[in-house]
Structure 1
């Protein structure tokens, strides 16, 4: 098939790169551009800009079957990975006949919604819930699949067959000194046997008190900052335990607490506890050899966490992150010599206005910069009294144009 924007899909599989007019929301409504080696496709509102390959209003009906003619060079359905932001649930019906390898859905809901995926063939379903008020109730697929839910978990519920694995990534606060986050009631999902909990390394800790509601766990994977680790000892039936990017392992039981453990991973964890885990792992191997993968690696000192995750620019594109960190360094150095609130305000104002003419500063970046201003206000200075968070926020709001 010709490799140009005027080509139209023919009956049967289309495996070549190029531009193809498709009837996604109406006759020839969109042009699909397939690039070499790209197996993913993102659909969403125009506000997403370049983050979406095809722009579709959130409440517009989508004809998902337009993708039936497309395949990878190897012959499997294309796209392999779909990202969709909107309210159309037609992909669940489409997936009854055409399997979806990985589906990421960010629902935009104007009212409480029930979605039926019982007959859908989804290998992996990822649901990202924003902060809008409406809730989503999902009837789970009957087939073997993995489920991941992130964001405002209080708005999500599910019924039906349990997923083979469940990943929960709640939206938590930015500060490690915040009151621990308590996972909301997840209803029937408490019956899963494999659970992954994800959090940021230096953000608000998630309390593992929630594990008491998951009595069937044989596999547990933790990413980030948690507290109440001692409660893990109640899950003596664990056969797999994974600890990643955890700066605080205080209260973690010894490995002997899980006599059935066959697989253990500790990766990027605090140094002191990590050394103890290494020794425990070796000791356990003498009495009962590990039958699966077991390792403790990348032990980290306290300063590493601050360098890697301490500033709120870690998820920014490299170019923007470099500019932000340079501005932060200048502001921090200036603040260290500030002897009055006026001098502190000048330093924070100078930092803030650096981003007024910078493209790409949207809601998330604005929140990151606000957090950076708070961090700066807590850094060393010579004023003799603390800079209140409200005061620093006022300086930030007065100077920013984003």
Structure 2
């Protein structure tokens, strides 16, 4: 759509939906009737059949299909059959019940499935890029050989509190995949890179967030392109010459001290072989990750949230320059006392403060055991 327009669409009946489309909007979202209407273009009962052919005659000014991107919350599988005749560039789907589907003849370039319910897939046909989001254990694929799906993205739900690493389920159907993207949060439950070794044919790998077992990646000998982003700890990252075919490397928003060593390693590799792309930038100190991603006080009463964040950042500054355990303890105690002065601190807020303290000690140049820091917490708090 090149200009703003009021569309009349026959999605569930003759002229069933009227929708305003702003100029330049390339997407169309269909939410369930249980959802907030102002967040979606239209709302449709999630169990109702949709007339996908209503979009057949809609095009962009360049002549390509419109919408380019669909967002659909619902259980109608008609979009799969429809795509056999009218290809879809990008379809993001959240089924709201357990489903079994066959994409054998579907023409969907990029399919993203939000996994809230169990989904069993018989075939993935001509899908070029499959992204799985949420509870990855809910995805099952029956067919063992899916060579036509070269790119897979994994975006699992991970815990903010769990310290045990997150491991990918075994996906035998994707054993021939060549391009993998994984994204988790920079803080919280780390992703275990060892679980990627099930994909022996990876040539392109992009990882983002809190990662562990990075050294295991050296077993992926076919890697040509590797990107590491938003990673607060790369201390066990392999030497780059472990990958004989590597010609592209990106390190962006990664931990500073190990990042400097990696930058030196990359310069050395660039002298030994011709690189298509080589970049390491935005090296970060540990407290940057904590301040940017780890503040656990959102959702508090606004006044309390504002005070807690300010006190927390003050503690980070003090701890990051500490030269003794006593200085670290003093900063943490001052932080806890500032929370003591707030009203309305209940159980959930107490857990948030404990999490904040666990994160604070990660910014300390003095190694502090978690148990000791939490003992300081219990000895000082009055909530």
- For the aligned pair, the TM-score class normalised by the smaller chain equals 0.7 to 0.9
Q: Secondary structure at the match of 1:148?
A: strand
Do structure 1's residue 328 and structure 2's residue 330 form an aligned pair?
Answer: no
Q: TM-score, normalised by structure 2?
A: 0.81
State the match for 1:143 in structure 2. 126
Do the aligned partners of residues 346 and 27 (structure 1) sit closer, same or farther apart at CA in structure 2, a change above 3 Å counting? farther
Do the aligned partners of residues 324 and 103 (structure 1) sit closer, same or farther apart at CA in structure 2, a change above 3 Å counting? farther
2:286 to 294, 302, 315: 302
2:39 to 30, 36, 51: 51
Give the drift of 1:89: 1.0
In the alignment, the residues of structure 1 paired with residue 182 and residue 136 of structure 2 have an alpha-carbon distance, to the nearest angstrom, of 12
State the match for 2:319 in structure 1. none
Cα RMSD, aligned residues only = 3.4
Gaps in structure 1 of 5+ consecutive residues: 1-13, 353-366, 396-402
Give the drift of 1:215: 1.2
User: Any conservation in 2 of the 1:195–1:221 contact (CA below 8 Å)?
Assistant: yes
Q: Secondary structure at the match of 1:275?
A: helix
Do structure 1's residue 99 and structure 2's residue 87 form an aligned pair?
Answer: yes
User: Any conservation in 1 of the 2:295–2:356 contact (CA below 8 Å)?
Assistant: no
User: Any conservation in 2 of the 1:96–1:119 contact (CA below 8 Å)?
Assistant: yes
Do structure 1's residue 171 and structure 2's residue 145 form an aligned pair?
Answer: no
Give the drift of 1:157: 2.0
Q: Deviations over 1:186-228 (max 9, x none)?
A: 2211321111111100020011121221111111111101111
State the match for 1:4 in structure 2. none
Give the drift of 1:121: 1.0
State the match for 1:11 in structure 2. none
User: Any conservation in 1 of the 2:147–2:176 contact (CA below 8 Å)?
Assistant: no
Do structure 1's residue 247 and structure 2's residue 242 form an aligned pair?
Answer: no
User: Any conservation in 2 of the 1:126–1:147 contact (CA below 8 Å)?
Assistant: yes
User: Any conservation in 2 of the 1:140–1:161 contact (CA below 8 Å)?
Assistant: no
1:349 to 341, 344, 357: 344
User: Any conservation in 2 of the 1:312–1:371 contact (CA below 8 Å)?
Assistant: no
Q: TM-score, normalised by structure 1?
A: 0.77
Gaps in structure 2 of 5+ consecutive residues: 315-331, 362-372
Q: How many residue pairs end up in the alignment?
A: 349
Q: Secondary structure at the match of 2:56?
A: helix
Give the drift of 1:325: 4.7
Do the aligned partners of residues 312 and 122 (structure 1) sit closer, same or farther apart at CA in structure 2, a change above 3 Å counting? farther
User: Any conservation in 2 of the 1:154–1:185 contact (CA below 8 Å)?
Assistant: no
State the match for 2:202 in structure 1. 217
Give the drift of 1:313: 7.2
